[in-house]
Amino acid sequence: MTFEEMQNIIEGMLAVQRELQESQLTLKESQLEFRASQEEFRASQEEFRAGQEEFRASQEAQKIVLDELIQRYGNLAEQSIRQKEILDRLIGYSLTNESEHLNLEEKLQALEARIKRFEERNQT
């Protein structure tokens, strides 16, 4: 084997080694980029989870408020119906001239006292 043939073989081996090193360097860079993108993904997942938890807590708070409002409006509707019935009876008494048997002021005060007691019981 001549010197030139050996030199060509060595140059070929060096070229292969250089290509191998370049591909290893490229692979390392790709791995670093992949790890960085993984970390970004993990961070965004954590932010998403935190946002979900805040949303869940907000929904729970809104549900509690909504349940309370539904109960209050239900109580108001019941009171409104009772007051309408009382008003209808009073109008009926007035139309049938039985109003002299009723002391409207006393009845109204008693009714207001009953409503206050009912509201106090519902608030506790």
DSSP-derived secondary structure for the chain: --HHHHHHHHHHHHHHHHHHHHHHHHHHHHHHHHHHHHHHHHHHHHHHHHHHHHHHHHHHHHHHHHHHHHHHHHHHHHHHHHHHHHHHHHHHHHHTT-GGG--HHHHHHHHHHHHHHHHHHHH-
Domain coverage including residue 77: 3-123
pLDDT at 96 over 90: no
The answer to whether the pTM exceeds 0.85 is no
pLDDT for res 101 = 56
- Residue range 32-85, pLDDT digits in tens: 999 999 999 999 999 999 999 999 999 999 999 999 888 878 778 888 888 888
- Overall number of domains in the chain: 1
